[in-house]
Structure 1
């Protein structure tokens, strides 16, 4: 039996202008966004869960989050320990694996989405499943068929587009996909099913390489898929094929490093010189992000309509582990003392990211007036 817990208010009231923007976005139908970086350790899962919670709890959006990372970190984060144990103790839990399993058996798409509630976060969830990794080979093999116009290959490739279509039928406002850090077959199928993608990044050289990889690889995938559709006998047989869909870049979020405390080393000392170099390198990389984004992802967005920098997530001390242990979003973590200020900062951060996310959704469609 679950214990009833005292809930903390989710905080900042939504301004009238922000509500107007949200209503405009909502009027345009479901928006499918994946959060992707082929580099791990960039705060992706934390961003997905807390941005979805901000939209669900404060903007009262109907949000579906799909955990497509076989490590299932998002599922573990948002579900309570007892609930997660109960679900994963079953022989065949209803999960994201249930979405793709019928295809591997030659049965086509499933009839219903395996949705459950993430009560504390306010959104609906399709839980992750380590068995999803077992379907990597299926998606890789059928991709070859899809590129040649084979209907089976196209149907398999569009399995996550079918999820988005079913979510649309269920009147969701937003569908978020959390993904593992790879450029493999599973993530290819997800990216090709999306309307938008967001890139969470750390301020390091590896994130720059990740941007280059994403821009090059996704562009090739899209061209190959369009060729496959043009060669297919009758693409209308697969309702989830939307030839007007073009994946767009919606923005990036940076994960800030922990600020160093204590006394500064003497500037003339070896440690002082090394620290100065590190700080300068960090600054150079950060300042170079806009140029890297334009160079490598410029074909995926209109720089005249959107500002791709959605925001920065500062280090929030012990709030993140507290959020994970309570299975609560950062904006409603229970705690007094230092947690009061940290919670306030988290509310400001995620409200800012949510507003810029909504603005870019409208801007990318030429609707922000």
Structure 2
């Protein structure tokens, strides 16, 4: 049985998506689940959040990168074979219990974009090599799940509608959409919904042309399970009224654009069943957590989390625990232990 894959995606950048995935990965680890975190964003910010500079230099030397996601797909890029065996990086922290494993990202992954784009139409010609390229991310992730005996896989993606993200989302069973309450996020949702439905349909059409009985492919479920609103600090150039108007529009824009359902004018973020969480901006804790190289809810007095900071860290824990529970419940990926 394949391990469930949950992608976190928004085609608008700077909404806090990578931080969300990072904290959820640690929370599932806290809840005693075995998690693979796959960094499929060519910017590799999630990898940089988990690993220190010395380890990054070892994983990203000049030349080949055999221990990253790019190393896994490089034989396909070179035309010399299929996917390579994946390497998992276990996060070095006494609290991880080796439950938390990272499929390392790589800035070189952007070099896979052109090939993914070129082979997409060839799937309709029953080209087996094209199917192997398009399904590479899914097959790599499922291999990591077997090695790690993972309960679930979380995927971080870049903010665009390119071929890398198309292949990554086809690999996903579920998708969570991190949003910020602003006009560009709303516009991004309106573009995203039709694109996801088109990709899903196009992949279903291609599945019938798979010529290899022994090549197992992702089903392209891409089921939206909800959105997370990530609040940002107040800005002088973004008045409160604009923020509130954008926040109020999110439920119906999500229903129309993502779910293709009629609007419900009685909905707000507070009572929308599709809203997984409204995550506060903990701007005072984040720099502290980044310096300590740990999630905000693991901050201790030794890290500077005293008084109000310690109270805030406990609240972050409760917020992410509730969000993790809700996502696990909606995906049926696993039962929390």
Q: Fold conserved (TM > 0.5)? A: yes
SS in 2 for 1:237: coil
Q: How far apart in 1 are the matches of 2:213 and 2:122?
A: 17
Which 10-residue stretch deviates more, 157-166 or 110-119? 110-119
Q: 1:145 to 1:339 in 2, by over 3 A?
A: same
Q: How far apart in 2 are the matches of 1:231 and 1:124?
A: 34
Aligned partner of 2:113 in structure 1 is 136
RMSD of aligned Cα (Å): 2.5
Aligned partner of 1:252 in structure 2 is 227
Q: Tell whether the 8 Å contact from 1:196 to 1:249 is kept in structure 2 after alignment.
A: yes
Please report how far the alpha carbon of residue 235 of structure 1 lies from its aligned counterpart in structure 2 after TM superposition: 4.4
Unaligned runs of 5+ residues in structure 2 are 265-271
Aligned partner of 1:324 in structure 2 is 290
Aligned mate of 1:287, from 248, 255, 259: 248
Q: Tell whether the 8 Å contact from 2:38 to 2:141 is kept in structure 1 after alignment.
A: no
Who wins on radius of gyration, i.e. which is larger?
1
Cα shift readout 1:167-220 (whole Å, capped 9, x = no counterpart): 342321111111111100100000001100111111111111111222111111
User: Where does 1:328-339 land on structure 2 (aligned, <5 Å)?
Assistant: 328-333=294-299, 334-337=303-306, 338-339=308-309
Please report how far the alpha carbon of residue 91 of structure 1 lies from its aligned counterpart in structure 2 after TM superposition: 3.6
Q: How far apart in 2 are the matches of 1:147 and 1:187?
A: 20
Structure 1 segments, 4+ long, off by >3 Å, are: none
Q: 1:87 to 1:151 in 2, by over 3 A?
A: closer
Q: TM-score, normalised by structure 1?
A: 0.79
Aligned partner of 2:191 in structure 1 is 213
Q: How far apart in 2 are the matches of 1:319 and 1:292?
A: 31
Q: TM-score, normalised by structure 2?
A: 0.86
Aligned mate of 1:307, from 273, 276, 279: 273
SS in 1 for 2:156: strand
Q: How far apart in 1 are the matches of 2:128 and 2:273?
A: 38
Does the alignment pair 1:50 with 2:16? no
Q: Tell whether the 8 Å contact from 2:305 to 2:313 is kept in structure 1 after alignment.
A: no
Q: How many residues are paired up?
A: 316
Aligned partner of 1:340 in structure 2 is 310
Aligned mate of 2:75, from 102, 119, 128: 102
Q: How far apart in 2 are the matches of 1:65 and 1:33?
A: 10
